[in-house]
Structure 1
Amino acid sequence: MRKLLLLIVVFLTWTISGQNGEEYVVFENVVITPNPSKIKDFQQHMAEHNKKYHTDDVYGCRVYAIVTGPNTGKFVWSMGPIPWSSIDNRPAQGGHDEHWNTMVMPTLLPEANASYWRSHPEFSNFPRDFKLDKLRLTYYDIKRGMGNFDKIKEIIGRVAKMNKEKYPDDIYGVYTNEFGSTNEGKDVVFVDFFESSAKLGEQDENWISNYNAVNGAGSFDRDIKTWFELTNGSERELWILVPELSGKTAAVKIN
């Protein structure tokens, strides 16, 4: 329940679109499916490609195995964070495209799903260096309708205030789908970064009381009711980094 309420903070990002002309960054995520009969070739050529062409800060990539949900058994090729202005200059020469098309593509099934997720550091929390090793993602589908966003903005402010006061050391990221689909229903995502799976079993019995203490008695019940009225549901996935296939390591340095 704590994570559910924490996710409400993502919706504030919809009101911000390049404020002051500042460029923002995105992650390019491509869900791919290896051909079961070519797993060894997939591992070999994917590793070769990423470790040769995708190791730097801008065009570096990580590969994750999806281990829950309907996409279990598939992989995510994730590049970023990268500004949109750099997308057109991504590696293409020096054998990059030829290697991908002739060596990697033949090891994949003819299905893929590419998406671009805008990073919102102003609503995320990265208080220290961490590792992109294990990711818990919760996607939310927002109901269409004029006025829905206005109704939840007040809740967003209360959630952000509570987290800042009570959970300043939590590490999480907030992202919005640049090309969302009403059919897919993945408009925003909250990503929880952790190194030990023991975190999945943690329960915080004080979260609701903390929320009420910061925002007033009864605020949790009131706001969670509004939350459910404005969403169509959610979907969760666990991603596990596959370092041998990735161009970048799990380590993230916070300046």
Structure 2
Amino acid sequence: MKKILYTLLLLPFLVVAQTNETLVIENVMLTVKSEKITEFEAGIAAHNKKFHAEGPYGARVYNVLNGKNAGKYMLIMGPLPWSAMDGRPSTQAHTDDNNKNISQYLEPEVEVNYMKMHPELSNFSKDFEINKVSVFMVDVKRFKSSEFMEKVVNKVVKVYKEKMPDQIYGVYTNELPNMDGLDFGWVDFFDSSSWLGKEDKFVQNFEEVHGAGSFAKFLADVEATTNGDSTEIWTLRKDLSGPNAKVIAAPRQ
């Protein structure tokens, strides 16, 4: 089964811990048996509120709305450092509840990814409530990661900072090698679907920031460093999640 940039996957909830360690988000793509959706949703809602309600092990659930994964569920836990992974809920009660109320309603294929958040490139400068997210995933060419970050990502970040300073977004890279085109993720957070219908002024903004004619060179750099990209829209299922939807601004952490 195909995955989602999780990474992505899990969107950076800065509301966790002050630490110098790299923070990662665990993204788990779940495919539910079509005839067991009601049972699954009741089970995962109760499980998350009991075992994953807050802190670094808090788990949020999203519906995937488009693309090959439409109809699937994305479970996101974190962010947390790798050193905290071994401390995740693992009691017999947790295992029994998961097996009884969640796992039996799932199809066998489950995909897991671990996404590293880049706070220096992201913008979580104000409090907000998660509602909908646009997950832009990129397949980076082999041995081109550094060049991609320097010539593509950094330039896009500069455009966002100067032309869209109020847009909340997160930047992620996959912590583990993969052959599935999920090397990099850019996640935009938005409240209303009308956001998707806004006039696209990216090219105009890019050239205003980087100079006339710069966008053609930018496209050449994109082509030289990537194999392709895709976008998925996810919507948060507050009723199935443990923590609430509130994310606190980074400066207040």
- Determine which of 83, 86, 95 is the counterpart of 2:84: 86
CA contact (8 A) 2:135 2:186 kept: yes
Output the CA distance in 2 between the equivalents of 1:56 and 1:46.
15
Closer, same or farther in 2 for the Cα pair 1:36/1:211, shift >3 Å? closer
Q: How many residues align?
A: 233
Q: Deviations over 1:102-151 (max 9, x none)?
A: 32111111110011111111100112111221111010001124x67337
Could you tell me which runs of 5 or more consecutive residues in structure 2 were left unpaired when the two chains were aligned. Answer: 1-7, 9-18
State the percentage of identical aligned residues.
41
Residue in structure 1 matched with residue 13 of structure 2 by the alignment: none
Question: Partner of 2:196: helix, strand, or coil?
Answer: helix
Distance 1:160 1:64, change over 3 A: closer
Equivalences for residues 20-169 of structure 1 within 5 A? 22-93=20-91, 95-145=93-143, 149-150=146-147, 153-169=150-166
One-letter amino acid matched to 1:223:
F
> Residues 152 and 226 of structure 1 are in contact (CA less than 8 Å); yes or no, is this contact kept in structure 2?
no
1:194 aligns with 2:173: no
Q: Distance in 2 between matches of 1:238 and 1:227?
A: 22
Deviations 1:136-191 (A, max 9, x none): 1010001124x673376245444333332222111110011112312x11100110
Contact 2:148 2:222 in 1 (8 A): no
TM-score, normalising length: structure 2: 0.86
> Structure 1 residues 109, 119: CA separation in 2 closer, same or farther (over 3 Å shift)?
same
Which residue identity is paired with 2:62? Y
2:113 is paired with a residue whose SS is strand
Q: Give 1:224 deviation, angstroms.
A: 1.5
Q: What is the alpha-carbon distance in structure 2 between the residues aligned to residue 152 and residue 28 of structure 1? A: 22
Separation in 2 of the partners of 1:234 and 1:209?
21
> How large is the RMSD of aligned CA atoms in angstroms?
2.0
Q: Where does residue 3 of structure 1 map in the other structure?
A: none
**Separation in 2 of the partners of 1:105 and 1:155?**
40
Q: 1:177 aligns with which of 174, 182, 185?
A: 174
- Equivalent position of 1:203 in the other structure: 199
Structure-2 change in CA distance of 1:236 and 1:61 (3 Å):
same
Structure 1, unpaired ranges of 5+: 1-9, 11-20
Q: Secondary structure at the match of 1:227?
A: helix
Decide which of 190, 198, 217 is 2:212's aligned counterpart: 217
1:71 match: secondary structure: coil
In 2 relative to 1, CA 79–218 (structure 1 residues): closer, same or farther, beyond 3 Å? same
Task: Check the 8 A contact 2:171/2:185 in 1, yes or no.
Answer: yes
Tell me the SS of whatever aligns to 2:161: helix
1:246 aligns to what? 241
